[in-house]
Copies of this chain bind each other. A is one copy, B any other.
Amino acid sequence: MLLSELSGLIGLKLAGKDKEISGVNTLELAGPTELSFLANAKYEDKLSTTKAAAVVLEEKYTDQVESALISENPYMDLAKAMHVFSKPQGCLEGIHELAFVHNDADVDDTATVYPFAFIGKGTVVGPNCKVFAGAYVGEDCTIGAGSILYPNCTVMAATAIGAGVIVQPGAVIGGDGFGYAQVAGKHMKIPQIGTVELGDQVEVGANACIDRASLDVTRIGSGSKLDNLVQIAHNVTTGDDCLIISQSGVAGSTKLGKNVIIAAQAGLVDNIKIGDGAIIGAQAGVPNDVKPGFIGAGSPLQDQRSFLRSSVSIRKLPVMGKKISALEKRIKALEAELFKGNEDE
């Protein structure tokens, strides 16, 4: 594809020579037919050494390369260029004869269903969906237009999935929530008879788990993205456009506002509320409600600045202990001296 053609597709102004472009790569790795990008000023010096055919960059850097696509948000425009060049996963189309589609399921003619995929009774699969091999969709589900269920993911009964959703391999949506009534030291299973709803454009990471509600619904807001191995317990709800990074867990009935970010390996207890736009640091432990816009870290959660101060202080703890001991001795000496002084008077 010509650079001029690409610039039209992604809506950027071309400065410099037109060239043939075959793909996208980093400044270091790009070859003479690849497009690259400068999204971080600290890599500016790589502009002089890159072999890239052209670079997506801010206007002020234009003169440093032979061909540029001028952008106000190079990272976003790079993403657009990558969409042009990216090849979707998969090598089949249509409904394969080794797929299982229940007689009472309704799979759109434009959908692709791989061998060994399972579509249960009463389930509706929308236009242009792709259901890969080994994906299981139970009964009475709806899968919105253009959604992709990657291999070996599981969607249990009565799950409602929006449009443009991506479920990475191995993810489990609608497994039973973890609920038991305690009866004389035994754990009596509480049937999990609620459901799961995913809004539009949600992404669920590989081997992530979203449990069905005990009653009511577990809901992930539109545009929210969950990374690999994330755990979402029963009756959790999130607002739109949240990011929940790898290996984090949200316990039962906790409510996230919109645009919440939870970094990796963090844990949130059950039945709390996280305000819009809050940011929870990696490995944090969140025991209580969090206000909108709060930026926190640590377990238990502190505000970011206190956390950093505490972290530094913890390293000084052994020294602090020694200082206290030293002070105790000096005070003892002072007390002895002062007591003696009093006696002398």
* Contact call B136/A115, Cβ cutoff below 8 A: no
* Contact call B283/A282, Cβ cutoff below 8 A: no
The one of B122, B133, B264 that contacts A249, using a Cβ cutoff of 8 Å: B264
Shortest Cβ distance from residue A110 to the other chain B in the assembled complex, whole angstroms: 21
* Contact call B79/A188, Cβ cutoff below 8 A: yes
Contact flags (1/0) for A84-103 with B, using CB distance below 8 Å?
A: 01110111000010101010
Shortest Cβ distance from residue A269 to the other chain B in the assembled complex, whole angstroms: 7
Complex-state Cα separation, A228 to B175, whole angstroms: 9
The one of B136, B317, B337 that contacts A313, using a Cβ cutoff of 8 Å: B317
* Contact call A328/B327, Cβ cutoff below 8 A: yes
Shortest Cβ distance from residue A4 to the other chain B in the assembled complex, whole angstroms: 22
Closest to A214 in B: B82
Contact flags (1/0) for A188-216 with B, using CB distance below 8 Å?
A: 11111100000000010111010100011
Complex-state Cα separation, A90 to B138, whole angstroms: 7
Q: Which of A162-193 contact B (CB under 8 A)?
A: 166, 168-170, 172, 175-176, 178, 180-183, 185-193
Shortest Cβ distance from residue A282 to the other chain B in the assembled complex, whole angstroms: 6
* Contact call B282/A285, Cβ cutoff below 8 A: yes
Q: Does A8 contact B (CB under 8 A)?
A: no
* Contact call B118/A115, Cβ cutoff below 8 A: yes
Q: Does A265 contact B (CB under 8 A)?
A: yes
Known: A116-B116, A178-B245. 9 other contacts (CB 8 A): A75-B190, A91-B138, A118-B134, A136-B152, A150-B154, A166-B189, A175-B206, A206-B209, A337-B342
